[in-house]
Amino acid sequence: MRANPGGEAAFLRIEGVSKRFGSVTAVDDVSLDIARGEFFALLGPSGCGKTTLLRMLAGFETPSAGALLLEGVDLAALPPYRRPVNMMFQSYALFPHMSVTGNVAFGLRQDRVPRAEITARVEEVLALVELSGLARRKPHQLSGGQRQRVALARSLVKRPKLLLLDEPLAALDKKLREQTQFELMAIQQRVGITFVIVTHDQDEAMTVADRIAVMDRGRIAQVDTPSAIYEAPRSRYVAEFIGDVNIFEGRARAVNGGDVMVEQADAPAGLAAPARADGPAAGDAVMLAVRPEKIEIAPGPPPPGTANAMAGEVTEIGYLGSVSTYRVRLDSGKTVVSTQTNRLRHGGGAIDRGARVHLSWPVEASILLRS
C-alpha cells in the first residue's frame, strides 16, 4: 500500500466542506486528507453527495462552507480552467465534432503547448490507453470501451496533479468493467497521479482503491482501506453497504478478557465479540455484524456452552458456482445467511433444503458496531 495518510503533510486536504442547494444539504461538513499518489474512492448510493464533492474539486460547484487545499494552495480562487485538476466525466463528454486526436489535444492547445510536443504527448497517451490506431476516428465511430479510453486519455494528457473520475466505468458492461478496473490501476501506477474516483459500485471501489470513503447523506460514514472497511465496519450502514452481512441485536452482559459477551435469544450460550476501545459497558444495547462466509454450517451441534452457536432449518440454497448460499430460519423466525465454498459439494454430509442445521462462528468473526 502506497497510502500513508499520517506520514507526510496532506497532498489534498478537504476541510469542513459543505454544499447546500437551496434547502437541500448535498455535502455536510466533510473533512478528508488524501495522500500524494493515492487511489482514493468516494463510495455511496446515488444522492449521497459524492459527485457534488467531486464537482467542487473540479471547480464546477462552489462550497457553501469549508476549504479545498491542494498542496496547501486554496482551490477556491481558481476557476475550473485554471486548476491543475482534470476530470473524467461519467458521460465522457467527448466533443462530438472533434476526432480522438482533437479531443485529446484540446487541453494541451489551451495551454499553448508547442505543436511538436502536443503531437508527441498525444501519441504517448494514446499508446498508454492502447488506442494508437484510432486517432482519426470521431467519437461516434468508437465502441463504448474505446470512448471510455479516449476520455481517460484526454484527462491524463495534461498530467494533472489530481485526476477526478466520475463513475468512469458505469457505462461499460460487467465483463469489460472488471477488466478495465485492473487497467485503470495499472495506468495509475505508471503515471503516478493521485486519483479520486466516485462510484456507487462497492466491488469497483474495493478493487481499485487504496482507501475508500463511504458516504451517507452528505456525510462521511467511514474512511479506511478496503479490507478494514470490510472486516471492521464501524456502523450498520457501512456493514450493510459493503458486502452481505448478518446483523444480531442484543444486550452486553459482561466484558471478560477483551471479549464482550452478548445476550441474544437465538444463541443459548450467548454471542461473543472482541471488545472495542470505546466500549460498550455491561448492560448496553449492542449490534453485532457477522459476514456470511464466516458462519460454519454443520448437521450436528457444537459442544454445549459454545458461544456464537445457533440452530435452525435450511429454507433455501442458492448455488453460485464457487460458493453456495444457505438461508437458515432460526427458531425465533430470524433468517441468517451462510456462504460455504463448494469444495465439499460431492463429499459426504451434503446439506439439503429443510434439514435442521447448526451454525457457529469464531469470536473474531463478530464485529461490534457502534450503535
Partner 1 sequence: MRRGLSGINLAALTLGFAFLYIPILLLIIFSFNESKLVTVWAGFSTKWYVAMVENALLLDAAWMTLKVAVVSSTVALVLGTLAGIALARLGRFPGRTLFSGMVYAPLVMPEVITGLSMLLLFVALSWARGYWTVTVAHITFSMAYVAVVVQSRLLTMDRSLEEAAMDLGAPPVKTFFAVTLPIISPALVAGWLLAFTLSLDDLVIASFTSGPGSTTLPMKIYSQVRLGVTPEINAVSTVLVGIVSIGVIAASLINKRAMVIREREAQAADP
Partner 2 sequence: MNERVERERRERTRAWGLLGRGSVIASPYLWLLFFFLVPFAIVLKISVAEVQLAIPPYTPLFAWPEGGSFELFAVGDNYRLLIEDSLYIRAYANSLKIAAISTALALLVGFPIAYAMARAPRAWQATLVMLVILPFWTSFLIRVYAWIGILKNEGMLNGVLRWIGVIDEPLIILNTDIAVYIGIVYSYLPFMVLPLYANLVRMDRSLLEAAADLGCRPAGAFWKITVPLARPGIVAGSFLVFIPAVGEFVIPDLLGGSGTLMIGRILWTEFFSNRDWPVASAVAVILLLVLIVPIVLFQRHQQRQREAEA
Task: Using CB under 8 A, list all residues that contact partner 1.
Answer: 21, 60-61
Nearer to partner 1, 60 or 95 (CB): 60
141 binds partner 2 (CB under 8 A): no
Interacting partner of 21 out of partner 2, partner 1, none (Cβ under 5 to 8 A depending on kind): partner 1
Interacting partner of 228 out of partner 2, partner 1, none (Cβ under 5 to 8 A depending on kind): none
Under rule CB under 8 A, how many of the chain's residues touch partner 2? 26
What H or E segment, with its residue span, contains residue 24?
Answer: strand 24-34
Contact residue for partner 2 among 2, 21, 65, 80 (CB under 8 A): 80
Nearer to partner 1, 58 or 245 (CB): 58
175 binds partner 2 (CB under 8 A): no
Contact residue for partner 2 among 147, 154, 200, 234 (CB under 8 A): 154
Per DSSP, 132 falls in state G
Interacting partner of 111 out of partner 2, partner 1, none (Cβ under 5 to 8 A depending on kind): partner 2
Q: E strands, 185-322, where?
A: 194-199, 211-216, 219-224, 246-256, 259-264, 267-274, 285-290, 296-298, 309-319
Shortest distance, CB of residue 46 to partner 1, whole angstroms? 16
Interacting partner of 182 out of partner 1, partner 2, none (Cβ under 5 to 8 A depending on kind): none
316: β partners = 327
Q: Which three cell numbers stand for residue 364?
A: 473474531
77 binds partner 2 (CB under 8 A): no
Residues in contact with 205: Cβ distance below 8 Å, sequence separation at least 6, in sequence order: 41, 43, 197, 199, 212, 226
Q: What is the pattern of x (binds partner 2, CB under 8 A) and - over residues 91-130? A: x-xxxxx--------xx--xx-------------------
Nearest to 341 by CA among 292, 276, 282, 278: 292
22 binds partner 2 (CB under 8 A): no
Shortest distance, CB of residue 139 to partner 2, whole angstroms? 11
Q: Which three cell numbers stand for residue 96?
A: 462530438
85 binds partner 2 (CB under 8 A): yes
Rounded distance, CA 288 to CA 273, Å?
8
Shortest distance, CB of residue 84 to partner 1, whole angstroms? 23
200 binds partner 2 (CB under 8 A): no
21 binds partner 2 (CB under 8 A): no
Nearer to partner 1, 61 or 313 (CB): 61
Cis status of the peptide bond prior to 160, with omega within 30 of 0 = no
- For 17, 77, 89, 215, 242, the CA distances from 47, given in Å and listed in that order, are 17, 27, 17, 10, 17
Q: Which three cell numbers stand for residue 243?
A: 458486502
In the three-class reduction of DSSP (H, G, I as helix; E, B as strand; rest coil), residue 39 is classed as strand
Cβ(208)–Cβ(181) below 8 Å: yes
Nearest to 283 by CA among 257, 253, 239, 238: 253
Name the segment binding partner 2 (CB under 8 A); options: 6-14, 89-97, 120-128, 219-227.
89-97
Q: Which residues make up the interface to partner 2 (CB under 8 A)? A: 58-60, 79-83, 85-87, 89-91, 93-97, 106-107, 110-111, 154-155, 158
